[in-house]
């Protein structure tokens, strides 16, 4: 019996590695036989450099992408989920690694996904320096796959946000999301199945396929610039848990973050999902980002200049609330 007979095709795996070597714009010596080699001379630009690392995945958005035949945005989703998490420290991305697991290696599928990951990494000057491809028959169904990522960045120690700096009267500045991003898709898929919704269902100017599989917005480069120019007291990437679950991580225990839900227009896709799925309002807010993907905590004195900075860059933003005395909660009003 050959390894191929058990469901693992070594030749296909080698072919995928060769494909990645060709499309990744790195010197051959950067990708070693067992591990990547990363030049850290960039650290000389920092007085007290600290490394910032994160790992994440995309979750069951992958299943919807497989079902609806739209895979090319998943690499951007993966990079975004990892990079935005180091963006809450204003970190500069240094390098990225991936893990691709599948029940049966389909080269066309894997190339589509990994090509988009390489494009995302290169768009933000963060090289994909290596990773792992695993064919796992029996553990994963044929036609299914999962992908995870790992990112490392660098930040000046003095620029790291500190919850102790957050005080009543500070303001919350939110950056809009591009939609559902990469969280809550088990609920999304359940609503789709319950209502018999199809990929080409029209909603506004797009189809459900286009809207629900739109890639997660990548905030890391903008966050890096903002931290460099301004005194940012805290930041939150709004993922699973919504605004309440994520913003509460970065406020002190003697403060509340009071959110004015009327300060921005919740995108139509969230209203549609809530109506079709008969989802309670509180559940929507603790599952989805509801149109806000990233939040900065700033003093009132910094807001005017930061707002002007964002306007000059053509970036939309909303002042969505403020910090008040409390007990470490996020209050939605």
- Residuewise pLDDT in 10s, the chain (333 residues): 655 655 666 667 677 767 777 777 655 455 666 787 888 899 999 999 999 999 999 999 999 999 999 999 999 999 999 999 999 999 999 999 999 999 999 999 999 999 999 999 999 999 999 889 999 998 889 899 999 999 999 999 999 998 889 999 999 999 999 999 999 999 999 999 999 999 999 999 999 999 999 999 999 999 999 999 999 999 999 999 999 999 999 999 999 999 999 999 999 999 999 999 999 999 999 999 999 999 999 999 999 999 999 999 999 999 999 999 999 999 999
Per-residue pLDDT, 15: 74
As a dihedral over the C-alpha atoms of residue 326, residue 183, residue 115, residue 204, rounded to 10 degrees, the angle is -110
Among the four given CATH numbers 3.90.650.10, 1.10.238.10, 1.20.58.1610, 3.40.50.150, the one describing domain 163-332: 3.90.650.10
Contact 22, 115 (CB under 8 A): no
Per-residue confidence (pLDDT) for residue 33, from 0 to 100 = 67
Domain boundaries along the sequence of the chain: 3-159, 163-332
Q: Tell me, what's the pLDDT at 237?
A: 98
Q: What is the structure's pLDDT at 38?
A: 84
DSSP string, 210-279: HHHTPPPP--HHHHHHHHHHS---EEEE--TTHHHHHHGGGS-TTEEEEE-GGGSPPPHHHHHHHHHHT-
Please report the pLDDT score of residue 93 as a whole number: 97
Q: Could you give the angle at which helices 74-87 and 220-229 cross, rounded to 10 degrees?
A: 20
* Nearest residue to 238 (alpha-carbon basis) of 290, 302, 161, 167: 290
pLDDT digits 0-9 by tens, 44-79: 999 999 999 999 999 999 999 999 999 999 999 999
Does the 3-159 domain belong in CATH 3.20.20.140? no
What was the pLDDT predicted at 17? Answer: 67
Contact between residue 175 and residue 293 where contact means Cβ atoms under 8 Å apart: yes
> For the chain, how far is it from start to end, CA to CA, in angstroms?
65
The pTM score is 0.93
């Amino acid at each position: 019996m050959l390894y191929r007979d058990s469901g693992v095709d070594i030749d296909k795996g080698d072919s995928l590695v060769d494909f990645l070597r060709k499309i990744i714009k790195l010197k051959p010596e950067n990708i070693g036989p067992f591990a990547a080699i990363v030049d850290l001379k960039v650290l000389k630009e920092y007085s007290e450099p600290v490394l910032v690392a994160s790992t994440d995945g995309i979750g069951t958005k992958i299943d919807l992408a497989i079902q609806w035949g739209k895979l090319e945005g998943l690499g951007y989703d993966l990079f975004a989920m990892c990079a935005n998490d180091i963006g809450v420290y204003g970190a500069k991305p240094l390098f990225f690694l991936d893990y691709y697991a599948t029940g049966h290696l389909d080269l066309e599928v894997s190339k589509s996904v990994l090509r988009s990951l390489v494009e995302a990494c290169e768009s933000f000057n963060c090289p994909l320096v290596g990773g792992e491809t695993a064919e796992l028959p029996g553990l994963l169904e044929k036609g299914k796959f999962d992908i995870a990522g790992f990112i490392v960045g660098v930040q000046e120690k003095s620029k790291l946000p500190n919850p102790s700096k957050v005080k009543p009267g500070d303001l919350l500045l939110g950056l809009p999301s591009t939609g559902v991003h990469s969280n809550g898709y088990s609920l999304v898929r359940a609503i789709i199945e319950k209502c018999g919704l199809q990929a080409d269902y029209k909603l506004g100017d797009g189809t459900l396929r286009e809207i629900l599989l739109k890639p997660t917005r990548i905030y890391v480069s903008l966050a890096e610039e903002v931290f460099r120019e301004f005194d940012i007291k805290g930041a939150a990437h709004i993922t699973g848990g919504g605004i309440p679950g994520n913003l509460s991580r970065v406020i002190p225990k003697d403060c509340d973050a009071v959110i004015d839900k009327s300060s921005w227009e919740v995108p139509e896709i969230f209203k549609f999902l809530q109506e079709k799925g008969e989802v309670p309002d509180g559940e929507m807010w603790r599952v989805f980002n509801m149109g806000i993907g990233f939040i900065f905590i700033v003093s009132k004195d910094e807001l005017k200049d930061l707002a002007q900075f964002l306007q000059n860059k053509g970036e939309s933003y909303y002042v969505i609330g403020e910090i008040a005395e409390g007990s470490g909660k996020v209050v939605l009003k």
